Amino acid sequence: MVYSFLASPFADAACADHYAALQAALQAALQADASTDTLLLGNLVLEDGAAPLDAVVVRPHSITLLVLVPRGGQLSIPALDAGPWQLDGALLTGADNFDNPLAQLTAQRQELAAWLGSRFTPAQADLRYISSVVLFAAPVSYASDVELALKSAPNGFRLLSAAPHLPQALQELAGSGINLTAEDLAEWAAEWEAFTQARQPTAAAGPAQSARYLGEKAKALWRWLGADDVPDDPAYGYVPAVSAARTQEKEQLEQLRQQMQADLSAQLQALEAREAERERSIAQLRTELAQAPAVAPQAAALEARLADENREKAALEAAMQASRAESAARNQELDAKIQQLNQLIEKLNSQPIPPVAGPSSWATTTLPAKPRLPRVGKAAVYKQLGAAGSRATAWLNEGRRRAQELRAGHQRPRVAVVAAGLAALGLLGWGLSHLGESPPVPYQENGRWGYADAKGNPVVSAQYTAATPFQDGRAVVAKDGIYGVIDKKGQEVIAPAYDALYPYADGYARARVGDAYTFLDADGEEFDHFFSKALDFSDGYAAVLDHRGWYYIDGPKIPDKPVALFTEAYSFSEGLARVKLPDGYTFITPDYLDDPSRGTEPFGRYNQATDFDKGQAWVMQDGRTFLIDKDGAEVK
């Protein structure tokens, strides 16, 4: 059976048609193989402010995330995971300012894994093995650079031309890491069905359901406001950071009140529109009833329909009245909280600063104005601010906790209370100073990319056709498809000269010129050697391929005769690298590169293998697929 749930309609008609074709392809595949149950989720938003997931397909042995591209043409991939792709000569980027569909899938796979972690146990689904697909709506031809780019594609990634190709790809992507049952899918589908009915009132829904939806919406918004954090008592002593925090809190509550009112107003408008339609229906029935003969059978039917319409009208009016009353009550309660905050702020501002020893700058520390949060979650804002924003958030929370402790100051010596407040302020000052060090983030203007600070002020003008986030003070940018590197001031560290350029890793950046790869050091100097294939540096080594085969390098010096050659070689992960020898896959440590005679024990030879992740790797041996640990032992 195919269970299909669309979380919300697609805004783009072409995407909606593409999703419908995807659903039809899965349904057609089910007719050919009735044993494969499928759960399809569409346009799914996992977190407030995050880009929606186009589609997720869950099967007993696969979980697949899809990006839908509602067109076709000739595809060109200058660089698989850096900068936009091209489709029929036009830039192909991902949603929500992702560089390309693969960058979107990479970020959203992590979000999906975190979301599913509370749904499935590790025995049911190893979420490291969520596969990903870019699905085009029309036939796609591949330029010469696509095949080369796909050689470095992550495991479980596919490009598919048109929806009918998806069922076969899902069978190929199935693996032993996902072990769901038909009952698991049916249970989850039943929950989605219940959720859809409770949360998505339709035009035919009854007034009771609409009222319940409005009530749940208002309660959810109220819980999100966090108004319960407002203290009942003023803090003991004057703490400027607390006063500023309360001012910010009040502004946020006022803004969110407007949000709640707007959402409830929209729902009431929908009910009023249905009421107007009901009035027109009642008027029409009355006209028909007046024209019908008194003894005619249709007169009784018309009277019955009219009575039903009147009952529905009364129920609608009751629902609207209840919603207005609930909205008024919520507003009144929120007004009281805001008024309470005003009184607290006035009292805090009117109290003198207690004399304390220590730097005077601590006593005058205030919080900057908080960025406005129109319709995105707080977590999403601080996520954009980067690691410094996370540290500042921690210090802000610490400051709030210390302020709450001040409320109970009568239970401890006054000096200890003041010292605790000063310690919190010191932490706040440190965190805010580091918050200002957040690197610029990419923004787009008139089809070009630039960089802006955490407040949204441009610091590097929009002049690039592609821009990656800053890492270690540097960012990869492109001008008309030619890539280079800039610093946080916008100065060129490496002038645009490469067909593809990847962020620095372990001190070196991988670059491509035509079909050949090389590396750049911290000064932008190229290695003397070019390779037909190369992977980024990791754990001090990079896997490269030239006419001799795959081998590893640890810097600019290229060995005349590599100590060890491999059929395939991959990046080191957790101190181990997956390689392929003539008799199968295995794993090596850096010591093997110094002396291959040591062998690959304790690892054997495997038909297939994945890289190590969190101390474990999947392998296939003699027809069996199982997990091994770093000692080569099977994980039971």
Q: Give the CA angle between residues 420, 422, 427 to the nearest 5°.
A: 95
**Contact in structure between 490 and 502 (CB atoms under 8 Å):** no
Q: Which of 173, 199, 225 is the endpoint of a domain? A: 199
In this predicted structure, which of 51-60, 428-437, 472-481 has the lowest mean pLDDT?
Answer: 428-437
Residues 187 and 283 in one domain: no
- Residue 303 tokens read as 């009277």
More confident residue, 392 or 66: 66
How far apart, in whole angstroms, are the C-alpha atoms of residue 425 and residue 349?
16
pLDDT tens column, 552-581: 999 999 998 998 999 999 999 899 999 999
Residues 218 and 137 in one domain: no
φ/ψ of residue 86, rounded to 5: -130, 135
Residues 298 and 154 in one domain: no
In a domain, 96, yes or no: yes
Q: Which of 387, 407, 435 is the endpoint of a domain? A: 435
How far apart, in whole angstroms, are the C-alpha atoms of residue 371 and residue 348?
23
Residues 186 and 260 in one domain: no
Give the domain extent around 580: 563-636
Whether pLDDT at 432 is above 50: no
Residues 50 and 184 in one domain: yes
Whether pLDDT at 380 is above 90: no
Whether pLDDT at 251 is above 80: no
pLDDT above 90: percentage of residues in the chain: 22
Which pLDDT score is estimated for 90? 85
In this predicted structure, which of 128-137, 195-204, 261-270 has the lowest mean pLDDT?
Answer: 195-204
Which pLDDT score is estimated for 198? 59
Whether pLDDT at 220 is above 50: no
Which pLDDT score is estimated for 298? 61
pLDDT tens column, 263-322: 666 666 766 776 677 677 777 767 776 766 655 566 666 677 767 667 767 766 776 676
pLDDT tens column, 588-621: 999 999 899 888 999 999 988 888 888 998 888 8
**Contact in structure between 59 and 127 (CB atoms under 8 Å):** no
Most confidently modeled range among 75-84, 214-223, 316-325, 619-628: 619-628
More confident residue, 288 or 178: 178
pLDDT (average), residues 125-138: 91
In this predicted structure, which of 104-108, 152-156, 395-399, 463-467 has the lowest mean pLDDT?
Answer: 395-399
pLDDT above 70: percentage of residues in the chain: 64
In a domain, 28, yes or no: yes
Residues 232 and 334 in one domain: yes
More confident residue, 39 or 397: 39
More confident residue, 348 or 18: 18
Q: Is residue 602 reached through a cis peptide bond, with omega within 30 degrees of 0 on the bond before it?
A: yes
Whether pLDDT at 120 is above 80: yes
More confident residue, 36 or 563: 563
Which pLDDT score is estimated for 613? 84
Which pLDDT score is estimated for 35? 60
Mean pLDDT of the chain: 74
Residues 292 and 243 in one domain: yes
In a domain, 72, yes or no: yes
Residues 174 and 288 in one domain: no
pLDDT tens column, 579-594: 999 999 999 999 999 8
In a domain, 118, yes or no: yes
- Residue 334 tokens read as 């929120």
Which pLDDT score is estimated for 415? 44
Whether pLDDT at 223 is above 80: no
More confident residue, 80 or 516: 516
**Contact in structure between 432 and 392 (CB atoms under 8 Å):** yes
How far apart, in whole angstroms, are the C-alpha atoms of residue 559 and residue 528?
12
Whether pLDDT at 147 is above 80: no
How far apart, in whole angstroms, are the C-alpha atoms of residue 288 and residue 262?
39
Whether pLDDT at 357 is above 70: no
In this predicted structure, which of 389-393, 454-458, 522-526 has the lowest mean pLDDT?
Answer: 389-393
What is the number of domains present in the chain? 4
Residues 226 and 190 in one domain: no
How far apart, in whole angstroms, are the C-alpha atoms of residue 500 and residue 449?
17
In this predicted structure, which of 237-251, 257-271, 317-331 has the lowest mean pLDDT?
Answer: 237-251
Give the CATH number, domain containing residue 264.
Answer: 1.20.120
- Residue 60 tokens read as 């007993």
Which pLDDT score is estimated for 518? 95
Residues 343 and 216 in one domain: yes
Most confidently modeled range among 1-10, 62-71, 143-152, 243-252: 62-71
SS3 238: coil
Whether pLDDT at 84 is above 60: yes
How far apart, in whole angstroms, are the C-alpha atoms of residue 429 and residue 40?
48
pLDDT (average), residues 323-347: 66
Give the CATH number, domain containing residue 570.
Answer: 2.40.10
Q: Which of 435, 463, 484 is the endpoint of a domain? A: 435
- Name the pLDDT band for 628 (thresholds 50, 70, 90): very high
pLDDT (average), residues 187-197: 79
In a domain, 615, yes or no: yes
Which pLDDT score is estimated for 295? 52
Which pLDDT score is estimated for 199? 54
Residues with Cβ within 8 Å of residue 100, at least 6 apart in sequence: 77, 81, 83, 84, 85, 92, 93, 94
Whether pLDDT at 34 is above 80: no
pLDDT (average), residues 414-422: 45
Whether pLDDT at 390 is above 60: no
Place of tokens 């003198």: 352
In a domain, 288, yes or no: yes
Residues 57 and 194 in one domain: yes
pLDDT (average), residues 219-239: 40
Which pLDDT score is estimated for 433? 46
In a domain, 247, yes or no: yes
pLDDT tens column, 94-107: 887 788 899 899 98
Which pLDDT score is estimated for 600? 92
In a domain, 173, yes or no: yes
Residues 33 and 108 in one domain: yes
Whether pLDDT at 525 is above 60: yes
Which pLDDT score is estimated for 267? 65
Which pLDDT score is estimated for 446? 84
Whether pLDDT at 323 is above 70: no
